[in-house]
Amino acid sequence: MIDKLRKNNCNELHIRYDADSGCTFVIALNTIYRNKGNGGTRMKNYSSVGEGIEDALRLTNAMTKKCVMIGDEDNGGYSGAKGVIIGDPATQKTPEMLRNYGRFVQSINGRFQTGCDMNISPSDLEYMAEETQYVDGLPSTGLGDGGAATAYGVVVAMKTLCEQRYGSDSLKDRVIAVQGVGSVGSDLVRRLTEEGAEVIVTDINSDKLKSVTDQYNVKAVSPEEIYSVKCDIFSPNACGDVLTTENIEKLNCDLVIGSANNPLAKDLHSVKQMQERGIVFAPDYVVNIGAQVLAICEVEGKSFDYANNKIQEIIQRRLRQISLESSTLYEVAERIVHQEMLRT
């Protein structure tokens, strides 16, 4: 376990079993880079408690990298963190369980600030907020949907890298394959169609997929087909580890730009495999900072417009910065994270 903590830049792990619901609560923190952590809470029916803990650790590492990329001037003094509720959201997510989780968050004494993630909605946060003050993104008082903020940042990244690749930041008539149409992916589809892009979508949830295709009149393919779709941009917006050796071989795109945390199955090896095929991979923790910037701005009392401007400014600046060197974007970004964390 210590090796897993060290590998994921994580030095605190808090676990509580909730006997009332049968769920296990996990909060992972990096309090090395900064002494408090920011990150959403997700709920998932993991195959084991160990799998849930490992996901929390990996996500904390990703959230820490985002805070580094956001930078000292704008990250609010936050490092990375993640909350995980190990349980079945269809049967175990109840108001009382969410209140119990809120009490768990409160017990960390303000060193963990959280909001929405997979299977946790703004309305769920309201139950948590009955027991803790360290929740952002509430429907009544928050700056808005973190998923929409993340989608906005992904579009900013797409335009920035299209300008570098094609000489124009226009997404009109660009073919974009969107994997996953949850809170981020569905808003991304909306934004891309408004930009005039040709969008192809997939999701393992057939109801969500039908809703998006009906609403935006976009083409749908099966989850297996999405990797081989001929497109300009492949955009992973669902679970991590999707860019396996086999799936990368199927890709038929120029750019990979999406919001999914930890999409690389083999880190640099996966990036090099894409590079050999002429595909540019945009580091997820540079592209998907939108929700985190929004949450930090909310805590600091900033406006929605201020947050949006910051999302755009940071993503454009960082992508242009890491594009100036001959290494892959991923290698340059990793080097920046390592150097910045050594300074603490």
**pLDDT score recorded for residue 235:** 98
Inform me whether the pLDDT recorded for 60 exceeds 90: yes
pTM: 0.93
Q: What is the mean pLDDT of residues 277-300?
A: 97
Same domain membership, residue 268 and residue 190: yes
Do 109 and 196 lie in one domain? The reply is no
Task: Compute the average pLDDT of residues 246-275.
Answer: 98
Q: 41, 85 in Cβ contact below 8 A?
A: yes
Is-contact 143 298, C-beta < 8 A? yes
Same domain, 115 and 168: no
263-273 pLDDT, tens digit per residue, is 999 999 999 99
How many domains is the chain built from?
Answer: 2
List the catalytic residues.
Answer: 82
Q: Do residue 125 and residue 19 come from a single domain?
A: yes
Parent domain of 157: 146-289+318-337
| Residue 261 clears pLDDT 80, i.e. is over it | yes
pLDDT of 64 reads 97
How high is the pLDDT of residue 132?
A: 98
Q: Do 331 and 189 have their domain in common?
A: yes
Q: What is the pLDDT of residue 93?
A: 98
> What is the reported pLDDT for 141?
84
Mean pLDDT of the chain: 96
What CATH number corresponds to the domain at position 238? Answer: 3.40.50.720
Same domain, 322 and 187: yes
